[in-house]
Amino acid sequence: MKSRYTDESGRVIPIEPFFAIKEAAEALGLKYHQLQRGIKSGVFPAYIIAGRPRVRLSEVIAVIEASKIGDQAAYRGEDSS
């Protein structure tokens, strides 16, 4: 699989691969159904390619990072002082 593409002007454009839901879930340490539900509800972006949903790992990671709950010590109820 090509990891980059060169356009007519000679610019190199990186190509990020698409992953099936199962492959992406395994790579990210998620359960298949967690990722599938997130796609169906619109939480995670997905693309239909050849009739099947596909995701880009960077986009799923970006959504997860954006939903991070601040200071993890505070989340666990620990005193951060």
pLDDT in tens, 52-71: 999 999 999 999 999 888 76
The neighbour count for residue 24, using CB atoms within 10 Å, is 24
Residue 60 belongs to some domain of the structure: yes
Is the per-residue pLDDT at 20 higher than 70?
Answer: yes
Residue 74 belongs to some domain of the structure: no
Residue 52 belongs to some domain of the structure: yes
Q: Which domain holds residue 28?
A: 17-66
pLDDT at 42: 96
pLDDT band (50, 70, 90) for residue 72: low
| Structural domain total, the chain | 1
Residue 32 belongs to some domain of the structure: yes
Residue 24 belongs to some domain of the structure: yes
* Residue position matching structure tokens 């005193």: 79
Give the CA distances from residue 38 to residues 25, 51, 56, 78, in Å, rounded to whole numbers and listed in that order.
Answer: 11, 18, 14, 30
Instruction: Please state the separation of Cα 78 from the chain's center in Å.
Output: 30
